[in-house]
Amino acid sequence: MGIVHLRAAGVSLVLDTTGPELPRVVHWGADLGELPEAELAELVRVSVQPLTGGTADEPYRLSVVPEMTAGWLGTPGLSGHRGGTAFSSAFVTTGVEVDAGRDADGSTATAEDGAPLAASVTVEAEDEAAGLRLAWRLELLADGLLRHRAGVTNLGVEHQAGSPFDLSGLDVVLPLPREAREILDFTGRHLRERSPQRHEFTAGTHLRETRRARAHDGTLLLLAGEPGFSYAAGEVWGTHVAWSGNVRTFAEQEMPSGRRLLGGGELLLPGEVRLEVGESYEGPWVYASYGRGINELSRRFHDFLRSRDSHPRGPRKALINVWEAVYFDHSLPKLVALADAAASVGLERYVLDDGWFRGRRTDNAGLGDWYVDEGVWPDGLHPIVDHVTGLGLEFGLWFEPEMVNEDSDVARAHPEWILRTPHRMPPPARQQQVLDLTVPQAWQYVYDRMHAILSEYRISFVKWDFNRDLVDAGRQATGSAGYHEQTLATYRLLRALRAAHPDVEFESCAGGGGRADLGILALTDRIWTSDCIDPLERQTIEAGTGLLLPPELMGSHIASPHSHTTGRRHDLSFRAATAMFGHLGVEWDLTSASEADLAELGSWVAAYKEHRDLLHGGDVLRVDSPDPAIRVHGVVAEDGGEAIVAVVQLTTSAHHPPGRVRIPGLDPERTYRVRPLAPGDRIPGGGGSWAPAWWPEGARLSGRSLAEVGVQVPLQHPEHSVLLHLVAQ
């Protein structure tokens, strides 16, 4: 096919498919415009590096699946062996297919998930000596987002009939220019996900691995860009692996050439994928985004997620989750009172959390016994479900389908269903083990029990939890590692339940934000961003998570006045203003709230419902604040006609007063009426001299003036925020 130039939404990718080698990416980044074939050929020619001493006598051009046989001495794309042989690959391209993003009738093509497709490339290659076939596919989506994946098939070799191929890894990569000199990714832990870490590119590999099938400490995005790249400025490239099991993501600088790249794929444990002759393995989608500034890079992910067929379309219902209000104390009068309070403040959904099933009075027993506990609920869940739905609220229920307590009826009856090696039990975590869903009978048991519960009761929402790491997760039947197959079985279970109950929304929770990847989000409707609901912690957690996910996919709840996880106390205004910029909920014992608090909470819920179309449909705005004590973020309508912006005082500042805040992202030619947005307009100390002169009446300013000059904001106590509402006149 020669040299292929793909373009969409300000992004170009130039792909060299000439010759027998695997394809090489010549350029991935800013749009190059329409280029004649002659110039594309010149781009390839001027990109070939000269030979240097101490290297191979032929220049190596980095392919999308790097091969050591071609001279690449960094991380190989394919690793594995056939009984100790075929340890390296030398693929020869056998077919290239390019689709220009149009169906036969001329309409815009769509990908399998319904996302508009600008173009796609499919390449097939074979290594006859190794007995392998490789398939690589790249899609350029209409929003400028890339995704690509590779698969390998064991064809067998004539002199080793029937020999398996042990696959160790299959990664796909994209090159970076030398301008990408700085790396930004994220780490963390349970209750403190998405903590940023930033450093210079160095020689070698910056490798991030998830080896526990969930990733509180993992990075949703690995970014590389120009030094000092920020939300608004600097070229930046990023990648994400859409897989809910073990994952590898890496940024690499190969020496001595200095070539840089971003890559990733599934992390496979030894012996986990053994391909018999005729069998295939397909790696997960690896997404890649480019932007001038992090905001543009992030917006491509948001636009893609919103374009999928499975993306939630209706209003995101404001909910209450009762976990921190009652824990395992499932008293019907208390739960009824909570429902009454929730309805009185305008909430729309009620979620009964852990503790409703047999033997579940603490977290050390009962998990896996998915029958309503007759001792606690003698009439089943009907009394609470009927009361909740009678109030006009939807009813939701908590499950943890992949887990089991050793102290449970199911574990006692079927110890062979526990995910473990044949000779030892993994150390317990939260007093539980993992149920091996690769065992057909175990999978069917969980499906049948969940299907029965969802069929008997009017349930509109499932909180799907996943509260322990997979450690030493072997399969008893084979003795092999079980992470890969367990992930596929979980996907099958979710897919089957969604097909049987298409009106039920599913939330991905993994002790909070431990499973928030685009693989699980292909089958769920939101993620629970963190088990920590402290609004100060949530400012950082949601800032990091929100680079990948738009607000409507992030569960963000108004916490109780006293945080259960950090011990801090915050006023309702700060707690609610933080939760406004997600899929809002409440995690608070409302029966203990004062009348004044309930009235204020009702005002916040009403404001959320009034503005959620904008909050969940607009472009997310993040402002590069010159003061690290202040965070400025918000949402701007797609047409630029309206915006809601939060000015958050995270801690004390070296400056007093804080100075003007710029608000970019608006239409520079339009005039906006800027006003405080109630109830997020409260200023500590009652206002007075703490408020700027324009505050009571509002102001009228052009989008250009707001972006270049800004407005003075009120003085605030630490851990407080105010909201601004901007409407084009």
Give dist(CA 334, CA 322) in Å, integer: 10
Residue of 230, 267, 282 whose CA lies nearest to 628: 230
Local confidence band at 687 (pLDDT 50, 70, 90 cut-offs): low
Instruction: Tell the residue number behind the tokens 């292929």, with chain if given.
Output: 4
Give the helix ranges, DSSP H, for 523-622: 535-545, 572-579, 595-615
688 pLDDT more than 70: no
Instruction: Write out pLDDT tens, residues 361-403.
Output: 999 999 999 999 999 999 999 999 999 999 999 999 999 999 9
Sketch out the chain's domains with CATH numbers: 61-307 (2.70.98.60), 620-728 (2.60.40.1180)
Active-site hit among 166, 465, 517, 525: 465
| Residue 535, pLDDT score | 98
Q: Pairing mode, if any, of strands 11-16 and 554-559?
A: unpaired
Residue of 545, 517, 524 whose CA lies nearest to 243: 517
The three-state secondary structure class of 166 is strand
Active-site hit among 525, 531, 534, 681: 531
Give dist(CA 700, CA 727) in Å, integer: 10
Contact status, residue 279 vs residue 153, Cβ threshold 8 Å: yes
Residues, the chain, total?
Answer: 729
250 forms beta bridges with 207, 263
Contact status, residue 160 vs residue 82, Cβ threshold 8 Å: yes
Percent of the chain with pLDDT over 70: 99
| Residue 50, pLDDT score | 86
| Residue 56, pLDDT score | 79
CA angle 582, 459, 337 (to 5 degrees): 75
| Residue 52, pLDDT score | 81
Structure tokens at 1: 């096919």
Residue of 693, 639, 633, 692 whose CA lies nearest to 664: 633
Per-position b or e across 502-523, b if 16+ CB within 10 A of its CB:
eebbbbbbbbbbbbbbbbbbbb
| Residue 677, pLDDT score | 98
263 forms beta bridges with 173, 250
- DSSP of 285-351: PEEEEEEESHHHHHHHHHHHHHHSTTS--S----EEE-HHHHTT---HHHHHHHHHHHHHTT--EEE
Instruction: Write out pLDDT tens, residues 29-46.
Output: 999 999 999 999 999 999
HSE-CB at 179 with a 13 A cutoff on CA atoms is 14
| Residue 686, pLDDT score | 60
| Residue 656, pLDDT score | 84
684 pLDDT more than 80: no
Taking each helix axis from N to C end, the angle separating 332-344 and 382-390, rounded to the nearest 10 degrees, works out to: 10
At 387, which helix (H) or strand (E)? Answer: helix 382-390
Local confidence band at 658 (pLDDT 50, 70, 90 cut-offs): confident
In this prediction, residues 160-164 reach a mean pLDDT of 86
| Residue 716, pLDDT score | 87
Burial of 314 (0-12, 13-18, 19+ CB in 10 A): exposed
Q: Pairing mode, if any, of strands 619-623 and 660-661?
A: unpaired
Give dist(CA 322, CA 579) in Å, integer: 17
564 pLDDT more than 90: yes
Contact status, residue 419 vs residue 475, Cβ threshold 8 Å: yes
- DSSP of 418-429: B---TT-PPPPB
Instruction: Write out pLDDT tens, residues 473-525.
Output: 999 999 999 999 999 999 999 999 999 999 999 999 999 999 999 999 999 99
Q: Which residue has the higher pLDDT, 178 or 52?
A: 178
Structure tokens at 168: 């160790």
The three-state secondary structure class of 44 is helix
Instruction: Write out pLDDT tens, residues 437-472.
Output: 999 999 999 999 999 999 999 999 999 999 999 999
CA angle 408, 564, 354 (to 5 degrees): 25
Dihedral of CA atoms 111, 112, 114, 117 in degrees, nearest 10, equals 0
In this prediction, residues 674-702 reach a mean pLDDT of 89
Q: Which are the contacts of 700, defined by CB distance < 8 A and separation ≥ 6?
A: 671, 672, 673, 674, 729
Give dist(CA 289, CA 10) in Å, integer: 11
Give dist(CA 196, CA 325) in Å, integer: 32
CA angle 362, 368, 372 (to 5 degrees): 75
Q: Which are the contacts of 148, defined by CB distance < 8 A and separation ≥ 6?
A: 64, 136, 137, 138, 139, 172, 174, 285, 286, 288
Contact status, residue 517 vs residue 303, Cβ threshold 8 Å: no
Give dist(CA 112, CA 124) in Å, integer: 20
In this prediction, residues 239-256 reach a mean pLDDT of 96
Instruction: Write out pLDDT tens, residues 42-72.
Output: 999 999 888 887 777 888 889 999 999 988 8
Instruction: Write out pLDDT tens, residues 204-223.
Output: 999 999 999 998 999 999 99
| Residue 1, pLDDT score | 64
Q: Which are the contacts of 498, defined by CB distance < 8 A and separation ≥ 6?
A: 504, 506, 523
Structure tokens at 641: 């006609």
Percent of the chain with pLDDT over 90: 92
Instruction: Write out pLDDT tens, residues 605-640.
Output: 999 999 999 999 999 999 999 999 999 999 999 999
Output phi, psi for 156, to 5 deg: 80, 165
| Residue 162, pLDDT score | 82
Give dist(CA 95, CA 123) in Å, integer: 6
Local confidence band at 683 (pLDDT 50, 70, 90 cut-offs): confident
Burial of 203 (0-12, 13-18, 19+ CB in 10 A): exposed
Is 465 one of the catalytic residues? yes
Strand order in the sheet with 204-210: 172-176, 260-266, 247-253, 204-210
